[in-house]
Amino acid sequence: MKNNKEIVHCFVDYGFKRIGGKYKGRILWVLKGGVLRYGELKRAIVGITPKMLTQTLRELEADELVHRKVYLEVPPKVEYALTTTGKELIPFIEQLRSWAKNQMEQKNIT
């Protein structure tokens, strides 16, 4: 999800542009639990490919929602954590989540 150069029409538009995309919400949500390494994220976000994980993390980083810390070791070690701005989004995701939970229970979705 590219969001540079595009015209932002309103706050809602801007907000959705920053958290849109197939995996951003899930990534932010699991990072709510604390710092995670790349491989841990990969296991947590079931179904994501390394390409999409890296790509999405880079977008989140550029967007200052996630912080990336590289350890100069071999084998490599990279840790990801929410930034302050990223943490501010958690209540919002939580609200969507509880709405979704409700909906899924009502609709009996497996």
- Sites of contact with DNA (CB under 7 A): 1-3, 20-23, 37-39, 47-52, 54, 56-58, 68, 74-78
d(C-alpha 26, C-alpha 22), whole Å: 8
Q: Could you say whether residue 62 binds its own copies (CB under 8 A)?
A: no
Least CB distance from residue 19 to its own copies, whole Å? Answer: 7
Least CB distance from residue 71 to DNA, whole Å? Answer: 8
Burial of 17 per CB tally in 10 Å (0-12, 13-18, 19+)? middle
Residue 89 interface partner, choices its own copies, DNA, none, CB cut-off 5-8 Å depending on type: its own copies
d(C-alpha 5, C-alpha 100), whole Å: 32
Do 79 and 37 contact (CB within 8 A), yes or no? yes
Least CB distance from residue 16 to DNA, whole Å? Answer: 10
Q: Could you say whether residue 108 binds its own copies (CB under 8 A)?
A: no
Helix (H, G, I), strand (E, B) or coil at 79: strand
| Cβ nearer to DNA, comparing 54 with 98 | 54
Angle at 24 between CA 70 and CA 79, to 5 degrees: 15
Q: Closest Cα partner for 1 from 69, 55, 71, 73?
A: 55
- Which stretches of the chain bind its own copies, using CB under 8 A? 7-16, 18-20, 25-26, 29, 45-47, 85, 88-89, 91-93, 95-101, 103-104, 109
